[in-house]
Each structure stands twice: as structure tokens, then as C-alpha cells.
Structure 1
Amino acid sequence: MARGNNLHHLPLQGILIVVLTLLVHGGKLSPDYYSSTCPQALSIVKKEVIAAIKKETRIGASLLRLHFHDCFVNGCDGSVLLDDNSTFTGEKTARPNNGSLRGFDAVDHIKTKLEKACPGIVSCADILAIAARDSTVYLGGPSWVVRLGRRDSLTANKTAANTFIPAPTLNLSALKSNFAVQGLSFKDLVALSGSHTIGFARCISFRSHIYNDTNIDSSFASSLKKKCPVSGKDNVLQGLDLQTALNFDNDYYQNLLIKKGLLHSDQQLYNGNAADSLVRNYVLHPSSFFEDFAKSMINMGNISPLTGKKGEIRLNCRKAN
């Protein structure tokens, strides 16, 4: 199959609009990237995201996580959505993703709607960026202006996914280094970790924390051990935020203050170190968390996007054209 740009799928008028858009934006991300080529793009994504969350509330956290796991591997290029093929093994079976990354069907559905409205225009990478914002807002979190114009990669990188997506076992120093590699700051690390105010983690992800760590509330650890034994039941789920795992709020940070962070990496943010003051600030001032989270999501969305003539606009998010 051809893997170059897909302008040959468009009528002459569509080609001219795409070329004009590239000239106007100069290959840079822009909030109004689709204003002339697909003005209904944002409304379509929002409508479908809300419908998906109404069907299953967990999907909101899953869509947010997809954007995160996409951007941390070779930049925000939609590579996380690619299925395996004869030339590469995709990122879906990498350790941080295998058996836990979700929301692919929801993305497929959004893409189908966009292809009907604006064939060959909206990238899968941009769908992830918009869906992450819309999911956050619908679940009660902050909004931000999503910059658009990313193009899709032709390949995926399982090795990079295993290397660069932060593991739940990392300590603060390793987390700082992990985010720094992506050009993200220490504040970005603490703010983006707040995405764990929604969603669930599997027993296999928090087992070591509840059995081996000392910086955890003993009664909290005991209650989790009843759900998550030393071996077996790897896929048993626990809310990352104890009280409101389906609502975007600042409870995640409140849990850290009382040593009830679910993951080892979570509790590292409040463990007598440089992150403590930021955590306390987010507990006392939820609006400060919301503001910083929105800024950090924009920063994350800017990680090494493919623009201009790089990559392509996939017609199917699961495979290159």
C-alpha cells in the first residue's frame, strides 16, 4: 500500500485547501488548523467522546491515557494506535500497554465519523489530543485550547514504549529524568500525574507498593491485599483515586498526604522531597492544579509532532495508508 501523503484521495479543491493550510501555518501546530478544511472537526470529536463516556465512564480516563502513551513514544504521532504488521510490532503489546491500554474502538468510531465529514483531513494523532481534552472536561476537569496539525507516523516503536513510558515502580529521580527526556519540567511531572484522579490500575501495577513499601498507610495496604494477593488476580482493578475515580478533581493529591497513593510512583510525589510543596498547593488550591494541568497538557501535546510533509493523515488509525 502507498505510504506517502494521501492527497490523491482528495478532489482538486481539497488538495488546494490542504496546501493552503500548510502554507498558512508553516508546519506549526495551531488551534484553528482545521477551521477551513474541517470546521466541524472539534464538534464531531466532542460529541463522540461524550457518547463513549456515557456508554462507559472509564473510557474518559482511557482516552486521556492514550494521548499520554502516544506522546511519550517518538512524540505525539498516533503511533500507539497502530496494529502489528509484517514490518513492525506495534506499541500495544509493550509492557506499559499490554492488556491495559483501552479506548481503541472509541477512537476508530471518532475517525469513521470524521472521514465521512472530511475525508483524509483530520489525523489520528490530533484525534487523541482533542479526545484527551474533551474527556477531561466532561469528567469535571479543566479545559485548554488544543493546538492541532499533527500528522500520523507510518510505524510504531515497541522498544521505545518499553523504555520511555514511565513505570509505576519508578522513584522520583527516575520520574524526573523520564519527563526531562521529553522536554517536560518537574512541575509538568507533578501536574500531569494528577491525571490519576481518574481511571483504574491493575493489581499487577500496585502489588509491589502494597507489599514492599513502607510509605503507605497500613490499613490502606491491608485492604488492598484482600483484593490483590501476592500472586494471581493480576487484572483486579482498583481506582487510582480512592473516592472519585470517575470524576476529575484534586482528591488524588489529598490521598498522597495520607499515604494512600495507589502506585509506588504516585506516593513518590509526597515522600519528604521537592514535590511535597506542589502537592500541598494542589490540595489547598484546586484551581491551581487545574491551571497547571491544562498548561502541562499543552506542553505534552507539543512533544515532537510530525508536521508539514512528514508522516501522513491515516485513513484508518490502525494502519498506514
Structure 2
Amino acid sequence: MERWRRGGCLLTVALVAAMAVVSGEAKLSPGYYRSTCPRVESIVRAAVARKVKETFVTVPATLRLFFHDCFVQGCDASVMIASVTNDAEKDAPDNQSLAGDGFDTVVRAKAAVEKACPGVVSCADVLALAARDVVTMSSGPRWTVELGRLDGLVSKATDVAGKLPGPDMQPDTIAAMFADNNLTVDDMVALSGAHTVGFSHCTRFAGRLYRSSAAAGPSYYRASYARQLMAACPRDVGPTIAVDMDPVTPTVFDNTYYANLAGGLGLFASDQALHDGAASRPAVEGFAGNQTLFFEAFKEAMVKLGRAGVKSGRGGEIRRDCTAFN
């Protein structure tokens, strides 16, 4: 596989002067663009609002894009890179189900920011802001986004394997992935709540759905839910059909996802296992009974996730086009 990286151009003196570096990592700050692009948040929010108005898919697609970006090489927009040889991050099998509306949201928002503040705001920061905004626009919480990330210089499909949670993984395995990003079990449960507005193609859970239901346990669906899913996803159906992760309130960012798990309505085995796992169940039950508690935990976890693997100095750049290195 080819290693994708930018050419040897240096950052401008002004940009280097604007960078604050602590122990080799960028020091993120909510006011990072206060003097260089003071309207960045309102510009991104307006672009995101227009996209959400076009299609609600924008919400889960953008949020999932942020997760997939941060879990591989850190929050550096490396998942945005398009490769003519199809060997960038977005081309990896675990990323091929990412909806195009998420990418389009970031591209549009970045274009709007570039008109006002050319060469100042990174694609990684635009994605972080857009992820916050889609949650808020679907009745979820709003939080202060820390800014100051640079865009990554490498995007390889081979870097993705083993970095992202899968639909059939057990909580202990997923928790280890979260721990690699300085996230706790409670953070894992809180961030899993993003599935309250997500959707999945049938191929992602068909193996679980059509497994023999004679055995009891958390791997199997409640009978009525299984029948509903089978009607939507016939056996051996291709990836063209998708169903809501939350069958109760699919377009509202709320805590219903956790109540669904208690009722056997977890679409993925990994979702349902959160309710049945000894370490994760207390948080599931707490969030199911208290939406404010969930919102506060989700906000905190999103801020922590946004600090994963941030790039600084010559370790990154500010892309003019989010899909290509400068």
C-alpha cells in the first residue's frame, strides 16, 4: 500500500507562532480561533443546519465519521482523504459503510469557512464542530468544543484494522479500544448512546439475526423485534437496506437507546452486551433512568475523545481541501 503524505512544505511563520505545544501535543482551546477566525463556529453551524435540513442522515453520518476518524490515528481528519488507488483510511472495510452525507457535511462546512478565513481552520476542527452541531440539532446536548487540531499527513487503509469496535464484539474488547484513547468504561457506554440516532445496513447484523434462536442469552433478539427485523432484512439481503439503531425514537438524540437495551432491542450484539456486562450495566441503567445524566456523560466523553492523537507543529497541516493533502 502506498503511504499517503503531504509534500515537504513548511508551515507559515504565523501559523507556527499561533501553535501552543505542550509535551509535543497541541494545546487545544475553545478560543483557539478567536483572533484568526472569530465566526468559525457560526459558519460551521449554518452549513451543518443546511445539510441537516436536506436529510436527517446527516446527523448519524457526521457523528459516526468523527468517531471513526478519532479512533484511527487520532482526530486529524485522516478519514477524509480520498485516494485514487483506494488505499486511504476511508477505503478500509470497516469504513466503507460510512455514509457519504457525513463527508459532504464537512466538505461544505470547510468550504464556507475557507471563504471567510482561508488557510486558518483545520478540517479536523471543522469535523469536531460539525459532530457537536448535529447532536444539538437532533435535540441532544451542546458542549464547548476544544479547537486547535491540525490535519494529519498520513491516511492508510492498513491502519484501520483492529482500531474500531465491531457489531459482535464483547464489552471487554471494546473497552480496551476505548482505553487506548484514554476513555473509560463509562465513556464507552455514554458514546455508545450515539446509536440513538444511527442506522445500520442489514449485512452488519444479519449473522446475529438469522443465527438459531434456540439458545438463550444476550446474543439473541426479543422475538417480536426479531420478526420486525426479518421483515425489513430478508435472509441474504445485500447492503442496500438499512434500519434504525433505535426503533423507538430514531430521529431524536435521547436516552431511549438505553431503555431499549433493557427490553432486548439492541440491534448489535455489542449494544445488547452493554446491558448484560457487569462493568457496563450500571452506566446503562443510570443513563436509561436519567437523560440529564446521559447528556452530561456524553458531553464529557466527546471532549475527551476530541483530544485523541491531536497533531501539532510539523506533524500536521491545515488542508485547503479536506479530501487531499496540500
TM-score, scaled relative to structure 1: 0.92
Relative to 1, partners in 2 of residues 1:21 and 1:264: Cα closer, same or farther, differing over 3 Å?
A: same
Query: 2:189 & 2:236 partners in 1: Cα distance?
Result: 31
| Counterparts of 1:299 and 1:275, CA distance in 2 | 19
Measure the CA separation in 2 of the matches of 1:23 and 1:53. Answer: 34
Q: Which amino acid aligns with 1:311?
A: G
Tell me which stretches of 4 or more aligned residues in structure 1 moved more than 6 Å.
none
Equivalence for 2:292 = 287
3-state secondary structure, aligned to 1:309: helix
Residue 91 of structure 2 corresponds to which residue in structure 1?
Answer: 93
Alpha-carbon distance, 1:272 to partner? 5.0
Q: Which string of whole-angstrom CA distances, capped at 9 and with x for unpartnered residues, describes residues 185-224 of structure 1?
A: 1111100000001021110112122223643201111211
Q: Determine the C-alpha separation between the residues in 1 that align with 2:234 and 2:51.
A: 33
1:150-184 deviation line (CA, Å, top 9, x unaligned)? 00112212122222011111111211112112221
CA contact (8 A) 2:169 2:270 kept: yes
Q: Which residue of 1 aligns with 2:54?
A: 55
| Shift in Å, 1:5 | 4.0
- Find the aligned partners of 2:298 and 2:8 in 1 and give their Cα distance: 36
Counterpart of 2:160?
161
Contact 1:228 1:234 in 2 (8 A): no
| Cα distance in 1, alignment partners of residues 238 and 84 from structure 2 | 31
Separation of aligned partners in 2, 1:120 and 1:184: 32
The alpha carbon displacement at 1:318 in A equals: 0.4
Decide whether the 8 Å contact of 1:72 with 1:165 is kept in 2. yes
Aligned residue for 1:12? none
Once residues 49 and 247 of structure 1 are traced to their aligned partners in structure 2, the CA distance between those partners, rounded to angstroms, is 17
2:174 corresponding residue in structure 1: 175
Alignment check: 8 A CA contact 2:21 2:27 kept? no
Matched AA of 1:312? E
Q: Is the 8 A contact 1:5 1:311 kept in 2?
A: no
Distance change (3 Å), C-alpha of 1:258 and 1:313: same
How big is the alpha-carbon RMSD for the aligned residues of Structure 1 and Structure 2?
1.8
Judging changes above 3 Å, is the alpha-carbon distance between structure 1 residues 292 and 173 closer, same or farther for their aligned structure 2 residues? same
Gaps of 5+ in 2: 1-5
Percent identity reads: 39
The equivalent of 2:38 in structure 1 is 39
Map of 1:1-321 to 2, 5 A cutoff?
A: 2-7=7-12, 16=14, 18-23=15-20, 27-85=26-84, 89-102=87-100, 103-212=102-211, 214-215=217-218, 216-321=221-326
Asked if structure 2 preserves the Cα contact closer than 8 Å seen for 1:92 and 1:101, the reply is no
Number of residues of Structure 1 aligned to a counterpart in Structure 2: 312
